[in-house]
Structure 1
Amino acid sequence: MFGFHYRLERKSIGLVLMIVAVASVGGLFEIAPLFTIHQTVEAAPNMRVYTPLELAGRNIYIREGCYACHSQMIRTLRDEVERYGHYSLAVESKYDHPMLWGSKRTGPDLARLGGKYSDEWHVVHLNNPRDVVPESVMPAYAWLSRNELRVDDLSGHLKAQRAVGVPYTDDMIANAPTDAYGQAAPDSTAAEGVSSRYGKETNIRAFDGKPNQLTEMDALVAYLQILGRLTDVAGKPVAAAGE
């Protein structure tokens, strides 16, 4: 084997041809599944996109490096399914750019965190994790409650997401800053626009408990509360989910 390799190294043309051949085989295994992706990705007709506030929260989640300790991929192993819920489906990450499946898990998996805890629990946990989980090694993120959320660039974020396949409409893009405010201010007139554009089941409330102030805490909690709830396809029977 090594003798063949040594001889091949002395013949530049032969070495190049072998490199191309090996690379082609690897490329074939990577590219071929893409031609059958419609058969492997589940159908989710009720799948909704992230609201501007949730998308802003996702950006903060990435900015603070939360993905480094928390995966968002429940594997098909029995112990994971019993602990976290139904294993993750490909379609559930359909609108995730970038996807945050992860390969390391210092803290628990967050793929189905949405609705598991109250907004108040999340706020307390982010302000000081030890207040709710004494053995936690997670750092505190108390400044999120003090930082005003930037919304003037949200239309650009939605437009960028649309460029990679997320079906945001012109109306959603144009109203992104207003919708971000409206989702965290349930008593405002802007809240109505959020439910009309993203659905009546959209979480609309003061996530950090302060309806008159839009903070980064609002955005991050809004994102955490929608994890695993963009579609209910995972809760349906296998036959129905594939229809």
Structure 2
Amino acid sequence: MAEEKKGFSHDTIERNTLLLVVLILITVSIGGLVQIVPLFTIESTIEKVDGVRPHSPLELAGFNIYVREGCYNCHSQQIRPFRDEVERYGHYSLAAESMYDRPFQWSSKRTGPDLARVGGKYSNDWQVAHLVDPRAVVPESIMPGYAWMKDRPLKYDDIQTHLKTLKVLGSPYTDEQIANAKADLEAQKNPDGDVAAFQKRYPKAVVANFTGNKQVTEMDALVAYLQMLGTLVDFTKYQSPKQLQQ
């Protein structure tokens, strides 16, 4: 019988725990470098899309409440490029739409509908009624109510600092937007005021007294955020989902 060849085999690796760990680390490091290094050779990994802007101060406050309440656990903001998805929810999601969200809300689960295109789909009054008592407008809903938000004052004394911090992280807030952060937040709640400068700084932002309260409430902020979702981009300029499936 021929003598068994001795050498570096799988058996040797699998019996030597330290060697196995070292080789795994080397393999993972090489794979990671192959994926990461090319990213430094391009200007951006996200295609720039016309219309996308950072959140207005009131929308930003609403986004923070949305995250705080864990809305992403039941509602994703990610429409996949599949026929059933786009026929129900609208144009598939573009990465650029979420480029200023920290954290992004694409998620991986839907207990309720996807909200990527919910902006403008319902009236402000409907959104408020739904948040106060979901089953009043959607009888089969299992969503909890958030009636307390309607009268809970929004805390926004630090909104200017918040915008400054996001600018450091890459959101393109201008010095003018930062300086007017508090005034812009209040302007979006007051449709009877002079909102021309605000709307110039934040195109397509919905200006309304969402709850009817004189003070700015948490529900005002949340509805302002929801009514913006999916409204910033002109999707006629982009390839339709049906073309992707041909």
Residue 226 of structure 1 corresponds to 228
Give the letter aligned to residue 236 of structure 2.
G
Residue 97 of structure 1 corresponds to 102
Residue 14 of structure 2 corresponds to 6
Residue 23 of structure 1 corresponds to 28
Give the letter aligned to residue 21 of structure 1.
I
> How big is the shift at 1:171?
1.7
Unaligned runs of 5+ in 2: 1-8, 241-246
Give the letter aligned to residue 67 of structure 1.
Y
Considering only CA atoms, is the larger Rg found in Structure 1 or Structure 2?
2
> How big is the shift at 1:15?
4.1
1:192 aligns with 2:193: no
SS of the residue corresponding to residue 45 of structure 1 reads: coil
- Give me the whole-angstrom Cα distance separating, in 2, the residues matched to 1:178 and 1:39: 33
Residue 183 of structure 1 corresponds to 188
Unaligned runs of 5+ in 1: none
1:79 aligns with 2:81: no
Give me the CA root mean square deviation: 2.2
> How big is the shift at 1:90?
0.8
After superposition, what is the alpha-carbon deviation per residue over 1:50-92, rounded to whole angstroms, capped at 9, x for unaligned?
A: 1000000000001111111000000112111110011101111
Give the letter aligned to residue 150 of structure 1.
K
Cα contact 1:48–1:231 (8 A) shared by 2: no
Out of 177, 198, 205, the position equivalent to 2:208 is 205
User: Aligned residue pairs: how many?
Assistant: 232
Residue 46 of structure 1 corresponds to 51
TM-score for both structures, normalised by structure 2: 0.86
1:237 aligns with 2:203: no
1:118-197 paired onto structure 2 within 5 Å:
118-189=123-194, 191-197=195-201
Percent sequence identity is 55
After superposition, what is the alpha-carbon deviation per residue over 1:69-127, rounded to whole angstroms, capped at 9, x for unaligned?
A: 00000011211111001110111111111101001110000011111000000000000
SS of the residue corresponding to residue 39 of structure 2 reads: helix
Cα contact 1:119–1:221 (8 A) shared by 2: yes
- Give me the whole-angstrom Cα distance separating, in 1, the residues matched to 2:71 and 2:42: 29
After superposition, what is the alpha-carbon deviation per residue over 1:111-159, rounded to whole angstroms, capped at 9, x for unaligned?
A: 1111100000000000000000000000000011010111101112111
- Give me the whole-angstrom Cα distance separating, in 2, the residues matched to 1:50 and 1:238: 25
Cα contact 2:134–2:143 (8 A) shared by 1: yes
Out of 88, 113, 116, the position equivalent to 2:118 is 113
- Give me the whole-angstrom Cα distance separating, in 2, the residues matched to 1:40 and 1:153: 31
Instruction: Point out 4+ residue stretches in structure 1 off by more than 2 angstroms.
Output: 1-8, 14-17, 32-43
After superposition, what is the alpha-carbon deviation per residue over 1:168-206, rounded to whole angstroms, capped at 9, x for unaligned?
A: 0122112211111110111124x333123223x321111
